[in-house]
Structure 1
Amino acid sequence: MQDLKRENTNSEWWDLKTAAAYINVSYKTLISFRAMGLEIVEIGRLRRVSKTALDEFMRQNSF
């Protein structure tokens, strides 16, 4: 299981649960970040977030 998680974090595009774990927030909080400008790609039922976009969003919204 740990190898799978490491493999996911090496990818540029993450599912939302992996992205939420990366920034140490709940899935629900990550979804609320979308309303604040976090770009989430949605194709049908598939939703992914770019690690680059996530890092940039966190930088822009930190104080």
Structure 2
Amino acid sequence: MSQDTPCIAVCIIDPKTKLCFGCGRTLPEIARWGRMPRDERLALMERLAARMHDAGLPAMTRTRG
């Protein structure tokens, strides 16, 4: 997977927060991801860990296969 994505292939949306358990993005953000300018994607990626923490969701990491 590209380094320009926070996706770790754990694509489950938390019903309470509406955030993906794997990456912390919302469904609209995931849907728009490929059309976002790179600088917007990178800025959002910088905020995801704090967003997950604030929502009380555990930070997950990409595993190497």
Q: Sort the TM-score into its range (normalised by shorter chain).
A: 0.3 to 0.5
Q: Which structure has the highest helix share of the two?
A: 1
TM-score of the superposed pair, with normalisation by structure 1: 0.36
TM-score of the superposed pair, with normalisation by structure 2: 0.35
Q: Which structure has the highest strand share of the two?
A: 1
